[in-house]
Structures are given as C-alpha cells and as structure tokens.
C-alpha cells in the first residue's frame, strides 16, 4: 500500500507540474480565433431570417460517412427542381455544425444553370454534421443533413 501511495503522490505532483507550464504557455500565446467566427444556429438564422427550414427528401446531400482526412471532404448537394423561371433553386448553402465558422459556402443559382447541383471539397475540424440548406424561389427553405466521422481534423 505504501508503494501505491508513493506513486499516487508522485503522479499528482507530476500532473500539476505538467499543467502549470501548459497554462502559462497558453496565457502567453492566445489561441488563434477564426476571422469570421459564427455558430451554427446563428448562421442558419442569418440565412433564413428566422424561418424554420423544412426537412425534405428533395435535397440530396452526398457526403462520405467516414472521412479519413478532415482537410478534404467532398460534398455534393443536388436538388430536385425543374429550374424554370417561375420555379427554381435560388441558393444552396453548405454548413457544418461544429466548425468555428459554421458557414462554408453560399451558392446563388439562376435558371440559366439548368440543374440545381453544386459540388466542392470542405474542411472539417472534427466529427460533426454537414448540412445542406436550400432556398427556393418561392421563399421556402429545405434542409438535409448527414453526420460525418472525421478521424483526423483538418482545421488549423
């Protein structure tokens, strides 16, 4: 028992010793903050203007379930829409729930596109959800989301 106590004491001392330098270092160099820090909920409200988006199967979000490298995650958003002058997809927004800036990209489409489709590659800081938010020409908002497991974070 004595031996165990000895190791416990040593362990606690070592832990305290390890924490103090880390803390002092952190105080010296503040953690860099994203230039446009924005939470997910704030970002959604900023896009929709307070309207609640409707979950829809019309929005097809294609993201890998497991992304080995968070720095390159392919995202494809496709919307089932005729893309005529009276009925078209106005905008496609790609968001992430836990990145320091939730907004990734806003794409403003026109009927000249012919097809509501957008594809790119994004960075994810950790395991989280990728959200595709779609604005229709009649003012409605559709949403689709999928969680992505990230093994190596890609931010910073």
Question: What is the C-alpha to C-alpha distance for residues 140 and 133, in angstroms, rounded to an integer?
Answer: 11
Q: How far apart are CB 97 and other proteins at their closest, in Å?
A: 12
Question: What is the C-alpha to C-alpha distance for residues 75 and 64, in angstroms, rounded to an integer?
Answer: 8
Which positions lie near other proteins, rule CB under 8 A? Answer: 32-36, 71-73, 96, 99-101, 103-110, 112-124, 154-156
Asked if 136 contacts 52 with a C-beta cutoff of 8 angstroms, the reply is no
Nearer of residues 31 and 55 to other proteins, judged by Cβ? 31
Nearer of residues 13 and 26 to other proteins, judged by Cβ? 26
Q: How far apart are CB 138 and other proteins at their closest, in Å?
A: 20
Nearer of residues 60 and 123 to other proteins, judged by Cβ? 123
Nearer of residues 1 and 66 to other proteins, judged by Cβ? 66
CA distances from 45 to 6, 28, 90, 99, 144 (A): 56, 36, 17, 16, 16
What backbone torsions phi and psi does residue 128 show, to the nearest 5 degrees? -165, -175
- State the pairing for strand pair 54-55/141-152: parallel
């Amino acid at each position: 028992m004595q031996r165990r106590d000895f190791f416990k004491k040593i362990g606690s001392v070592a832990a305290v010793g390890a924490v103090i330098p880390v803390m002092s270092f952190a105080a010296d160099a503040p953690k860099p903050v994203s230039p446009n820090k924005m939470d997910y909920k704030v970002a959604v409200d900023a896009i929709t203007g307070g309207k609640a988006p409707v979950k829809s199967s019309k929005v097809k979000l294609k993201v890998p379930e497991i992304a080995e490298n968070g720095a390159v995650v392919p995202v494809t958003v496709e919307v089932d829409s005729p893309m005529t002058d009276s009925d078209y997809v106005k905008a496609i927004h790609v968001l992430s729930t836990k990145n320091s800036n939730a907004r990734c990209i806003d794409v403003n489409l026109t009927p000249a596109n012919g097809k509501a489709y957008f594809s790119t590659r994004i960075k994810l800081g950790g395991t989280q959800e990728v959200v595709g938010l779609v604005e229709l020409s009649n003012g409605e908002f559709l949403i689709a989301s999928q969680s992505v497991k990230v093994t190596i974070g890609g931010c910073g």
